[in-house]
Structure 1
Amino acid sequence: MPHTDRILSSGRASLAAAVPPVALGPLDGRYQPAVAPLVDHLSEAALNRNRVHVEVEWFIHLAEHAVLPGLAPLGDEQKAGLRRIVTDFDTDAVAELAEIEAVTVHDVKAVEYYIGRRLPALGLGHLVPLVHFGCTSEDINNLAWALGVKDATTDVWLPAARALVADVAGLAESAAGTPMLSRTHGQPATPTTLGKEMAVVAHRLGRQLSRIERTEYLGKINGATGTYAAHYASVPDADWTAVSRGFVEALGLTWNPLTTQIESHDWQAELYADVARFNRVLHNFCTDVWSYISIGYFQQIPVEGATGSSTMPHKVNPIRFENAEANLELSNALLDVLGATLVTSRWQRDLTDSSSQRNIGVAFGHSLLAVSNVRKGLARLDVAEDVLAADLDQNWEVLAEAVQMVMRAEAIAGVEGMDNPYERLKELTRGRRVDAERLQEFVAGLGLSPQAAQRLSALTPATYTGIATELVRYL
């Protein structure tokens, strides 16, 4: 992994890698630029950096609270030096850690030794035994994963998803008054506006983002089977639950008081279900937009120099939305498996979660790539208002609903001759096209009250949209 000088907002060096010469997966090759920000949170290198971070902060926490006899708070320079082990974690550190792990054949033990090597230079060589004190590997791993997933979600995925929702909401607002023929079951139906239909999508996506924003990221640090047995055996007078809770919360996580060896991962399953639901709504949006493009409601703005088809020069293919569909499906396949796998552990511990969690970044990567593609696709769309208007004008039969309901209201008001409104409109419209002249002739012969007749005579498919325009304000 090549060295990079880019610095994260946390002060840590970026771990994002350049595109490797040969990549097994597309997220590390063809699509690497779109998903690179996730590398700093969900890659193997980021996991190890977060492990170092947890170990260092646990070391400082134990010293600051003088939990063990003989411990005293550290000096500012010592704490700063310890935290530099994290902020200086770069590609050279990744290589060194790999060398240690090749000997230990244990990733978390390698982290412990990596930190221990650096303590003498800080005047803390006598405290090497404090590194990883009272911990099982999963104490470090669950916190490292929680930090990585939290940062990836809040710093990378959520901002991208919010920007997408803002794009859809912007389209909803700009097209709020643009009338459009609805299609229920694929058939012409009561008109709406393009903006209102886009607002529905923005509202649905926004609700899922609200759920994701409320995610609790849980963590634990309580020993080999969640009993604090080693803690109380070594230091029986300490309030270890208070020490544990204070540490987990200081990391910005929610303390889980009851676990086996592992933190139960329920919060992860909940988060992945919410992200998957967002993905599914977005997938539905992609298929709808693709369909609107295919019937001409949207026109795609050609990219200068781009090729739509290798043999048909007239084509501009909706590839952004098609690409997004595939990536959303791949993301959800992984998110669904993660959600199902992570909530199950044999008795107090098995390692199925270890292998599964290494694919969290891939799951988020495919979703992030899809979001990027949808945004790019939306940016190249124009609303074809003339096509929308022509489609409405060819389907006057959609006003049959309005005529029928006016007849019902008239009957209730005591107007004569309003019998069997549904059946009469069915006979007029079922299986046939009805133009403006034929519909107006039918309405004129009904014997409606003057007010009702005036309302219906003024109605067109383009104006039969109810309060669709006003509904966009609920975004």
Structure 2
Amino acid sequence: MKQNFKKSIYMKLKNKLYAISPIDGRYSNQVNEIREIFSEYALFKYRIKVEILWLEKLSTIPEIKEIPNLNKKTKTKLYNIIKNFNIKNAKKIKKIENITNHDIKALEYFLKKEISKINELKKNIEFIHFACTSDDINNLAYALMLKKAKKNIFIPYWNKIIQKIKKLAKKYIKTALLTYTHGQVASTSTIGKEMTNFIYRMERQKYQLKNIKILGKMNGTVGNYNAHLAAYPNINWNKISKEFVNSLKITWNPYTTQIEPHDYISELLTCIIRFNIININLVSDIWRYISIKFFIQKYKKEEVGSSIMPYKINPIDFENAESNLKLSNSIMQHLSINLPISRWQRDLRDSTLLRNIGLSFAYSIIAYKKIIKGISTLKINKKYIKKKINENWQILTEAIQTTMRSYKIKKPYEKLKKITRGKKITKKQIKKIINKLSIPQKKRNKLKKITPENYIGNAINLTKNMEKYINKLKNK
């Protein structure tokens, strides 16, 4: 009975419909690229890579005569442990961990058994994990994971989103858009310029993310090389540590306690949070434009918008993206605030937190995919936007009163406020106001040529010059 119960639970766990988290259930196929980097299996693989490369580094130090110089054949055998690591190996480590109750020690025992199969090294297996504390391995494993996620996941997805918005901006560079401040109609802009606002904001975060350095350390129990120097006092361990960390294409952190303090992870996470906030702003704006019929969504005939209202085409991609971005940000904010704090030289809270980085990233990736998909479904309702713009001639009072100021007419704002505030002003009334102005006829004629639709200021040129200003970000 007990065995059947366990089997039943196992079968349920294999079925995605029984997953507690939608990351491992409903959305599991959307986050495979995150799973390849941040699953426990992937963490094992990165840890093994660090352990083996550290052993290789030790073999190059002349003062450590106990380890033989590794020839090409021996190195290949070592690298094959990394290359051939599979789920069966990961299960072996988990089985050892059930006994040791310590994940890194379990990994060390697994590696010792594997390396003992290499004749040239079987007498030197005690140099596996030599002078290392757990975080010497963990911090570098996570650094490698974050480096890969930054380069292979975040930058590419951010570029895809930015390119999608750029396409909209360029396609609708001259398409006028009625704007709203405080939810009330304001001056006219263009769709191109309003999209460019988001593009520039996102590009800034992208270049900041690129410039965040991934840090790492390899310096022992409290960061002082105590054990290293006890065993080999004549070695410049500071130099060895820097060389090793840099060999992983990670920036060396010379000052740590037992753990790398995670300040750079906090910097990285808060940068992603800012990018996500910008996208929350974007999708909520698009949602509103859809709700007032400025934007229309393409749809598939087979899809359903509502279980009861047949006519509905809901902006679900943008709603889904907003919720997933907020979930992601909530987790990342907690991580960014708490990861840099450790009691005295070490406590274990960061271990639990670090294991949830992948979860926070998964929610972001789901959102990014929804944003890309959602933008692809958008069409611009040009005729309707034009109609709404031309129903709001009162927006030209801004141009009129500002021109009056340039001619030193007293209280221009107050005069126009008296006759227009809270009222629906027509084209005829605007012409009448202009005709009464004590300004040169030439200027009156110019004002008369302004319409709500062409009152877009420098919007077109600002959109055209977008790349010039983005390129300046690269050089900062």
Measured against the shorter chain, the TM-score band is over 0.9
Instruction: State yes or no: 1:378 paired with 2:375.
Output: yes
Match of 1:180 among 177, 180, 188: 177
Counterpart amino acid of 1:456?
Answer: L
CA distance in 2, matches of 1:280, 1:197: 17
SS in 1 for 2:300: coil
Distance change (3 Å), C-alpha of 1:208 and 1:404: same
Pairing 1:321-470 to 2, within 5 Å after superposition: 321-411=318-408, 418-470=409-461
SS of alignment partner, residue 264 of structure 1: coil
- Give the CA deviation at 1:67: 4.5
Identity, % of aligned pairs?
37
Counterpart residue number, 2:137: 140
Q: Does 1:219 align with 2:216?
A: yes
Range moving further from structure 2, 266-275 or 86-95? 86-95
Where does 1:246-257 land on structure 2 (aligned, <5 Å)?
Answer: 246-257=243-254
The one-character-per-residue Cα deviations of 1:125-162 (angstroms, maximum 9, x if unpaired) are: 01101100010111101111111111112111221111
Out of 108, 131, 142, which is 1:112 matched to?
108
User: CA–CA distance in 2 between the matches of 1:351 and 1:448?
Assistant: 75
Distance of 2:252 and 2:63 partners within structure 1: 19
Deviation of residue 410 (structure 1)?
A: 2.5
Amino acid at match of 1:200: N
Deviations 1:396-445 (A, max 9, x none): 0000011111112223xxxxxx3321112112210101111111112112
SS at match of 2:187: strand
Q: Is the 8 A contact 1:181 1:191 kept in 2?
A: yes
Q: CA deviation at 1:19?
A: 7.0
User: How big is the shift at 1:64?
Assistant: 2.2
Q: How does 1:103-252 map to 2 (within 5 A)?
A: 103-123=99-119, 124-252=121-249
Q: Distance in 2 between matches of 1:67 and 1:223?
A: 19
- Whether the 8 Å contact between 1:19 and 1:28 is mirrored in structure 2 is no
Instruction: Work out the CA distance in 1 between the residues paired with 2:14 and 2:414.
Output: 68
Q: 1:18 to 1:383 in 2, by over 3 A?
A: farther
Residues 67, 124 of structure 2: 8 Å contact kept: no
8 A contact 2:245–2:252 mirrored in 1: yes
Taking the aligned partners of 2:14 and 2:189, their CA distance within structure 1 comes to 48
Is the contact between residue 66 and residue 72 of structure 1 (CA under 8 Å) also seen in structure 2? no
Q: Read off the aligned partner of 1:43 and give its amino acid letter.
A: S
For residue 76 of structure 1, report the CA deviation from its aligned partner.
Answer: 0.7
**Partners of 1:81 and 1:21 in 2: how far apart?**
42
Q: Is residue 2:79 matched to residue 1:83?
A: yes
User: What is the CA distance between 1:114 and its match in structure 2?
Assistant: 1.2
Alignment of 1:305-320 (within 5 A): 305-320=302-317
Please tell me whether the aligned partners of residues 331 and 367 of structure 1 are also in contact (alpha carbons under 8 angstroms).
Answer: yes
Task: Map 1:90-101 to 2 at 5 A.
Answer: 90-101=86-97
The alignment status of 1:261 with 2:252, answered yes or no, reads no
TM-score relative to the length of structure 1: 0.93
> CA 1:89–1:20 in 2, change beyond 3 Å: closer, same or farther?
farther
TM-aligned CA deviation for residue 211 of structure 1: 0.7
Q: 2:466 aligns with which of 451, 468, 474?
A: 474
**SS of residue matched to 2:178:** strand
Residues 40 and 455 of structure 1: is their aligned pair in 2 closer, same or farther, counting only changes over 3 Å? same
Q: Which residue of 1 aligns with 2:37?
A: 41
1:320-375 Cα distance to aligned partner (Å, 9 max, x none)? 01001111111111111001111100000000000011100011111111111011
Distance across 1 between alignment mates of 2:14 and 2:433: 70
In the alignment, the residues of structure 1 paired with residue 244 and residue 399 of structure 2 have an alpha-carbon distance, to the nearest angstrom, of 65
Question: Secondary structure of the equivalent of 2:413?
Answer: helix
Indicate if the aligned counterparts of 1:192 and 1:468 stay in contact, CA closer than 8 A: yes
Residues 167 and 36 (structure 1 numbering): CA distance in 2 closer, same or farther, change over 3 Å?
Answer: same
Letter in 2 for 1:263: E
Q: How far apart, in 1, do the equivalents of 2:87 and 2:109 lie? A: 18
Q: Which runs of 5+ in 2 are unaligned?
A: 1-12, 468-476
Structure 1: runs of 5+ lacking an equivalent: 1-16, 412-417
C-alpha spacing 1:419/1:21, structure 2 compared with 1 (3 Å): closer
Q: Displacement, 1:448? A: 2.5
1:283-321 deviation line (CA, Å, top 9, x unaligned):
011111100000011000012300000011111000001
CA gap 1:28/1:96 in 2 versus in 1, 3 angstroms: same
- SS at the partner of 2:180? strand
**Is the contact made by 2:16 and 2:26 (CA closer than 8 Å) also made in structure 1?**
no
3-state SS, counterpart of residue 186 of structure 2: strand
Partner deviation per Cα, 1:177-209 (whole Å, 9 max, x = no partner) = 111111111111111111101000011011111
> Structure 1 pair 407/21, CA: closer, same or farther in 2 (3 Å)?
closer
CA contact (8 A) 2:297 2:379 kept: yes
Look up the match of 1:6: none
Displacement of 1:104: 1.6
Query: Equivalent residue of 2:18, what SS?
Result: coil
User: 1:346 aligns to what SS in structure 2?
Assistant: coil
Partners of 1:66 and 1:73 within 8 A in 2: no
Kindly indicate whether the alpha-carbon contact (under 8 Å) linking 2:214 and 2:264 is maintained by their aligned counterparts in 1. yes
For 1:428 and 1:463, locate their aligned partners in 2 and report how far apart those are by CA, in whole Å: 23
Q: Which amino acid aligns with 1:382?
A: K
Alignment-derived partner of residue 7 in structure 1: none
Query: Using a 3 Å threshold, how does the CA distance of structure 1 residues 303 and 18 change in structure 2: closer, same or farther?
Result: farther
1:121 Cα shift? 2.5
Distance 1:116 1:70 in 2: 16
Determine helix, strand or coil for the equivalent of 2:309.
coil
The answer as to whether partners of 2:139 and 2:260 remain within 8 angstroms in 1 is yes
SS at match of 2:31: helix
- In 1: Cα distance, 2:375 partner to 2:269 partner: 26
Q: Which residue of 2 aligns with 1:28?
A: 24
Task: Give the counterpart letter for 2:161 in structure 1.
Answer: L
Segment of structure 1 superposing worse, 349-358 or 108-117: 108-117
Deviation at 1:21, TM superposition (A): 5.5
Q: By how many angstroms is 1:23 displaced?
A: 1.4
Q: Distance in 2 between matches of 1:419 and 1:157?
A: 55
